[in-house]
Structure 1
């Protein structure tokens, strides 16, 4: 795994904090600026449209005044009500209407300088056209057609309000003029009898609309409630699909401001419907142009953020070096301390927390060096004491071991010598020689030293000498069954452990004497690193309470019974001494174990470690050597 340094973590945390701070400020600034700018642009466009709508309405209202003065004139209404065959009336009223129009126009020529036509038309082809002293003759069929269209396009009779239409009675002026038309009632103000219409050119209105400044990519246009274009800047590329979608969106008037993809770019549109003309005035600007200040803010924020980040990293580097330099020095000193080189650090000029840490380190090094010196001295003294205690313990164990070897029941020796003496007095027999030789072998074997570990064959030979003497004492032949495999005869065991167990059996297992069915069997086995010798008999066994007591003493490693006299242990070394001898030679995990049922015999097992040696080829030689 890659090693993580404190300086790297410090730089990384500084970088994360600064980036998160700058990103948070930048994002929120950008979002808030975008919303604020969009709102300001929307308000600006709305104000521009309101201004244009206001000036347009004033301009149109001036023509409405002209329309009112003509439509309410009695000669106009009379003209519309004369009979078709009244030629004199037709010419009389026509001349009167032209004079009225001429007077009205010339008196306010600065207002009506964009006037194109003033005409009055009625049913059955009657019409009067004023065109600045020009004589204009209209086709009666065209007049009737135009009259019918205007009657349907103008408001109802109860309203008599003018309507502004994108049409002209002259085909050559179509698309260049607007027509303000209104219905005229008869002389008695009854039914509608005709139409008064005023045509004026779009040039003057276009001057008003052209003053709407929407920047390099912005434009301004006007449509009516039918979706007809009243005004559209020249040179503006159009897309039929986009134009249709835009018209539907404007006519829906929901919302007042919206964004739409038009001619391949995202644009903002702000629309307003004039209450007077019922026109929809729409201003549009590209979002890229609107968001240019926001982009500038974003670029400035990024540049300032990068400069701030570099400055912060430089400060973090300076700050990190001021912190990490003494820490690295402290780390190097601690490594030297690990090697046993007590190294102090200079504390001059450090009054902060790191200076306190260095002072504590120097104090720790001083105290550790003193404590280690004391520990070394104490360890040396402890080792000296341990050597002395070990030497004393070894001497004690040797004395105890030798004492255990020499703890031979004197009663056995006395009885044996008494028997030998009786044989010698009563008869001169070879039995004396046999007993004396066996006794000599036993005494020689028991007093040997520095032979704590011997073979099974040696112990069996010692048991054989013991049985020779015992048979003469009890005057009865008794054979012990030895079923030990020949391959185990050279296994190691402790000297003087097997014969005391046999002696213990004769003393306690046959209290009523030895019968023909009695037996003693010696067996051995090894496995799992252990070597076990088993001595089994079918005598009286051990009572349960006595068995528990013996096992408890074996667990406590008691060397002898609690009784002060030796009368209970006639016949030699007790079981506890045998158990302790095995433990002193091989260890505390080895020794004797007892199994018995009252009235059914006893089984004593000696457990010792297994000897690692090649298989025995000639067990007979070992027996001969032991003899």
Structure 2
């Protein structure tokens, strides 16, 4: 399995944070800008339509004044009840209506250019048509279809706008404003219609001011679903799908596929004319600014991502480089080469860590120096006190040496540093507390007055640190009866046995079927504590060698000719000698093992702890 590096993890975390930030900000800004632009376009198109609607209503209201004048004229009302077969009476009233039309139109100069034709039609079938100061006579005045359309106008006196013209040449270029007219008696019966044809070309100048871009267009649909403007739209069938959508939408905006293209339609219905004024623009045209924003956001995001990744790389190197120096220096220190790190220019937490490391190396160096000096001094005294006293001094020295384990301190500090930089979790507190308890427990000088519970707590702290170092969960079975937990035993004797098992019993690593069991018992005035495992065990020659060392009480191996010494079993021998130093030569450590079936260590002590005083 490939080992994960801290720099790689920092880089990945930076990458995730940066990408999430850019994606969330970019997506949020894109969605918000899209909505804002859509609302702005809708508002702009709505304002354009409202303006055109207002001006259109103003034009039509001016023509309504002209229609009111004709509807209330006495000659027009009298014409409605003439004898259709009397040519003279028809001529008289036609002439009066013509003169009234000329005077009315000239008085309203602004309407002159837009006026196409004005005519009065009676139910009797006769009509007077005024066109550019001329009276046109038809007999009959209108074809039956036109006459029927005019007669269908509502009789409540309201203006009606019709998409029709009496001359085929004017079809599609005019719109007719019609109103029913009562007779001279002012009864309830409507006698005819006054109609005004308005040129759409002049009125279209107002509609053409609706600026909708290159691909936008404007059109009008009346209440019946007929297309009023522009003339090109009149070729469409009345009340087709588009007209039906306009009529059903009211003043709402809707999307519709028109001529194979998705378009937005903004509709406003005139309260005066009952026309629906509609503006349309392609959706892709509306989305063009949004697409520009999206493209810009992507480009800026990619550039920002590249710069951020470069900065993350530089930032990661600035953090990882001193940690690597610290790691390499720890490895040299582990080998016995006291390696110091230059801390010039580092005032941050890393600088503080380097300073602490240099201080630790200095103190360890001084301590080891003092230990070596004490060893030389003790060796000199051993020559005077004899071999027995020399062994005892070596045992005490090696006990101190056991407390100072650079390899263990290095691994623990390295693990704490990695947790401190990468994670912010309770594991750091747990490891530091366990390490503090172990060190505090280890530096005590007295060997007596320690209970089984104290030693088990020391083992628990050791297991906490070991599990974090190996990242493997492992539990030790404790089968000691509760009544024996307060029995006295020698300090720092149980944990070295557990450590020895992890180092030698499971050479291929701890598996799920492995176990370690701690038990205790009293028998025959003796108190025994056993530590057993189901590891690889010991070969017969190795077991014989270890038992021989225990019998000879050889704590330290004799130096070989080249000045080196063997360190095998020093932890076990240390435990054995510590028990003997407290309780006497009759007690100590014994070993039983079978190759391939595990090992069992037994610490034998008196049932009631009574320390032996040394003079």
What TM-score bracket applies, with the shorter chain setting the length? Answer: 0.5 to 0.7
Q: Secondary structure at the match of 1:125?
A: coil
Counterpart check, 1:68 vs 2:68: yes
Partner of 1:118: 118
What root-mean-square deviation, in Å, do the aligned CA atoms of Structure 1 and Structure 2 show? 3.5
Structure 1 unaligned spans of 5+: 393-551, 557-582, 588-608, 610-627
Provide the residue aligned with 1:206 in structure 2.
204
Distance 1:387 1:290, change over 3 A: farther
Indicate conservation of the 8 Å contact 2:219/2:277, yes or no: yes
- Unpaired runs of at least 5, structure 2: 393-522, 528-546, 552-591, 593-615
Secondary structure at the aligned position of 1:269 is classed as: strand
Query: What SS does structure 1 have at the residue aligned with 2:12?
Result: helix
C-alpha contact 1:63 1:112 (8 A) present in aligned 2: no
Range 364-373 or range 66-75, more displaced: 364-373
The aligned length equals 396
1:180 is paired with a residue whose SS is: strand
Post-superposition offset of 1:375: 6.4
Name 2:127's counterpart in structure 1. 127
User: 1:35–1:199: structure 2 CA closer, same or farther, 3 Å change rule?
Assistant: same
The 5-angstrom pairing of residues 150-165 of structure 1 reads 150-152=150-152, 154-156=153-155, 159-165=156-162
Change (3 A) 1:282 1:555: closer
**Residue of structure 1 in register with 2:226 after alignment:** 228
Select 1:185's aligned residue among 164, 169, 182. 182
SS in 2 for 1:225: coil
Instruction: State the 1:302 CA deviation.
Output: 2.8
What does the per-residue CA deviation read over 1:480-537, in whole Å, with 9 as the maximum and x for residues that have no partner?
xxxxxxxxxxxxxxxxxxxxxxxxxxxxxxxxxxxxxxxxxxxxxxxxxxxxxxxxxx
Residue equivalent to 2:287: 291
Q: 1:238 to 1:45 in 2, by over 3 A?
A: farther
Contact between 2:251 and 2:269, CA under 8 Å: does it hold in 1?
Answer: no
Contact 1:256 1:271 in 2 (8 A): yes
Q: Are the aligned partners of 1:221 and 1:233 in contact in 2 as well (CA < 8 Å)? A: no
Question: Does the residue aligned with 2:124 lie in a helix, a strand or coil?
Answer: helix
**Aligned partners of 1:36, 1:212: CA distance in 2, in Å?**
22
- Contact 2:80 2:124 (8 Å CA) reproduced: no
> CA offset at residue 133 of structure 1?
4.7
Given that 1:274 and 1:280 are in contact with CA atoms closer than 8 Å, whether structure 2 keeps it comes out as: yes
Quote the residue 2:340 is aligned against.
344
- CA 1:263 to 1:283, structure 2 compared with 1: closer, same or farther past 3 Å? same
Q: Shift of residue 239 of structure 1?
A: 8.8
Q: Describe the superposition over 1:421-458 as per-residue Cα deviations: whole angstroms up to 9, x where unpaired.
A: xxxxxxxxxxxxxxxxxxxxxxxxxxxxxxxxxxxxxx
Other structure's SS at 1:335 match:
helix
**1:363-406 deviation per Cα after TM superposition (whole angstroms, max 9, x unaligned):** 322333455566677699799999859999xxxxxxxxxxxxxx
- In structure 2, C-alpha distance between the alignment counterparts of 1:318 and 1:174, rounded to whole Å: 78
**Retained in 2: the 8 A contact 1:146–1:169?**
yes
Q: Quote the offset at 1:226 in angstroms.
A: 0.8
TM-score normalized by structure 1?
0.57
Q: TM-score, normalised by structure 2?
A: 0.58
The residue aligned with 2:104 is 104
Kept after mapping to 2: 8 A contact 1:78/1:186: yes
Task: For 2:10 and 2:174, locate their aligned partners in 1 and report how far apart those are by CA, in whole Å.
Answer: 76
Compute the displacement of 1:349 (Å).
2.9
Q: Does residue 91 in structure 1 map to residue 88 in structure 2?
A: no
Residues 1:84 and 1:386: Cα distance change in structure 2 (over 3 Å): farther
Which has the larger Rg? 1
Distance 1:352 1:173, change over 3 A: closer
1:45-56 matches, cutoff 5 A? 45-56=45-56
C-alpha separation in 2, matches of 1:249 and 1:554 = 105
Counterpart for residue 268 of structure 1: 264
Q: Distance in 1 between matches of 2:234 and 2:194?
A: 37
Q: Which residue of structure 2 lines up, in the alignment, with residue 140 of structure 1? A: 140
What aligned pairs does 1:525-604 form with structure 2 within 5 A after superposition? Answer: none
Question: Does the 8 Å contact 1:253/1:271 carry over to 2?
Answer: yes
CA contact (8 A) 2:126 2:139 kept: no
- Counterpart CA distance in 2 for 1:178 and 1:226 is 14
1:305 shift after superposition:
2.7
